[in-house]
């Protein structure tokens, strides 16, 4: 039998640690995440200023952040390159977090954070299709993906 005093003492410590972890988690969420999301969106770099690894077929355009292709407002645009023109979709969270119109005149299912992570990391869209290889595949952590979502929520 563990003496009661020790058992209760241990419980208090465990609960205390849990409360601290929860408090830290919620503190580091909102403002910091948006700032990191903006850095990734504009610069394509992580919190340390290191370029996030990505694979793409877009050449020089892929060496910056998302804005180079999706635009500073994230509403998508048409880009003329030496090898032809390509269009990028609107990726504002208010738009893609509910069913949204696609290029083919149909509707694509809404993105949730997990689906968005899949698109960014693996190039699989919300309907399960492969995205064009011009869209880079980014090696992003969960906090980085969530930071980009937080930033896209502000646009
Ligand atoms: C080099 C240009 C380029 C860059 C840089 C780029 N994208 Fe894209 N992205 C595209 C293109 C082109 C598509 C459309 C691909 C398709 O329709 O097959 C796309 C599609 C997407 C989609 C899928 C939207 C949909 O309609 O299903 C998401 C999400 C996305 N991009 C997020 C991002 C994020 C986040 C970043 C930055 C971390 C980023 N992209 C950077 C070119 C780019």
What is the residue extent of each domain of the chain? 31-152
Phi, psi of 144 (to 5 degrees): -70, -45
- Testing ligand 1's pocket by substitution, the residue of 72, 112, 135 carrying the most ligand atoms inside 8 A of its CB is 135
Distance (Å) from CA 89 to ligand 1 centroid: 7
Out of 52-56, 78-82, 120-124, 150-154, least confident range:
78-82
Q: Is 90 helix (H, G, I), strand (E, B) or coil?
A: coil
Q: Would you state the pLDDT for residue 3? A: 61
Would you say 54 and 122 are in contact if contact means Cβ atoms under 8 Å apart?
A: no
Question: Tens of pLDDT along 59-99?
Answer: 777 789 999 999 999 999 998 888 788 899 999 999 999 99
What is the model's pTM?
Answer: 0.82
Residue 57, CA distances (Å) to 96, 118, 134 in order: 24, 18, 5
């Amino acid at each position: 039998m563990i003496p009661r005093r020790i058992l209760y003492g241990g419980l208090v410590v465990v609960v205390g640690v849990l409360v601290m972890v929860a408090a830290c988690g919620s503190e580091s969420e909102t403002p910091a995440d948006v700032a990191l999301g903006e850095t990734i969106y504009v610069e394509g770099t992580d919190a340390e200023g290191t370029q996030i690894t990505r694979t793409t077929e877009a050449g020089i355009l892929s060496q910056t952040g998302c804005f180079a292709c999706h635009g500073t407002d994230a509403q998508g645009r048409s880009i003329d390159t030496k090898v032809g023109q390509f269009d990028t979709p609107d990726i504002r969270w208010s738009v893609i977090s509910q069913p949204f119109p696609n290029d083919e005149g149909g509707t694509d299912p809404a993105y949730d954070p997990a689906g968005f992570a899949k698109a960014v990391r693996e190039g699989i869209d919300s309907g399960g299709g492969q995205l064009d290889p011009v869209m880079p595949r980014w090696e992003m952590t969960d906090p980085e993906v969530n930071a980009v979502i937080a930033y896209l929520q502000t646009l």
